[in-house]
Amino acid sequence: NLPSTDYWFTVEYLENGQTKTFKAHFSLKR
């Protein structure tokens, strides 16, 4: 087993009529 697990997720949203993309990353320590 790995000591930590990485998660990536992407969120798309509208801002002033334009599509923005937000990417985030976090690790879960066991």
Q: What is the DSSP letter of 16?
A: T
What's the confidence (pLDDT) of residue 17? Answer: 95
Taking a C-beta distance cutoff of 8 angstroms, is the pair 6, 23 a contact?
no
The pLDDT, as a whole number, for residue 5 is 78
pLDDT digits (tens, 9 = 90+) for 9-30: 889 999 999 999 988 887 777 7
What pLDDT sits at residue 20? 93
Residue 3 banded pLDDT, cuts 50, 70, 90: low
Task: Determine if the pTM surpasses 0.85.
Answer: no
Contact 29, 1 (CB under 8 A): no
How far is it, in rounded angstroms, from Cα 25 to Cα 5? 11
